[in-house]
Amino acid sequence: MRAVFVYQCNSSGWTFRPTPLNLLQDLQRAFGLTYLFIAHNLSVVEYLSDRVAVMYLGKMAELAPADELYSNPLHPYTKALLSPIPDPSARKQRIMPQGDVPSPINPPSGCRFRTRCFIAIDRCATEVPEFRLMGEDHYAACHRAEESSKLMGSGSVLTGKSLPTPPPSPNGANLH
């Protein structure tokens, strides 16, 4: 059996109407269903999903269990997406990617997010980052995923403009 659900919700705010989502969760539990749920409202995604994939210009940027992704995002795009989600226990500022979204028909060389990324290095322009395992069932496609929490703060607490400048890397590459 196949079913297609179209559910529009307000992606600009925290609030959403949970009744249709509760029905989907009830059906999922009752029948052991798996959904491929595509959305732009990350509050809704968090509410409904056990595992989350973040895509940018048609490529996977990060994949992890929902709890892990929301508590420990590794890719700069994921951190930017999660930064506007209200969290009364954290003092987060909004992370705003730089520039305009590139054309998906003619994406930038190397990392597709590099033209908007606030921790990009020269390597990001020349090499496509490998989608690699970063922790238990947590994958990211970023050359700087291991150091992203230090550079951007855990839980997206810094904006791109207030980032500390790290020392140059051993290969001489500097931040853009």
Cα gap 101→112, rounded to integer Å? 10
Q: Where are the domains of the chain?
A: 1-49, 51-162
Q: Pick the most confident of 18-27, 31-40, 101-110, 145-154.
A: 101-110
Local confidence band at 161 (pLDDT 50, 70, 90 cut-offs)? very low
Which string of b and e fits 14-50 if b means at least 16 CB within 10 Å? Answer: eebeeeebeebeeeeeeeeeeeeeeeebbbbbeebbe
Cα gap 87→105, rounded to integer Å? 36
pLDDT of residue 25: 86
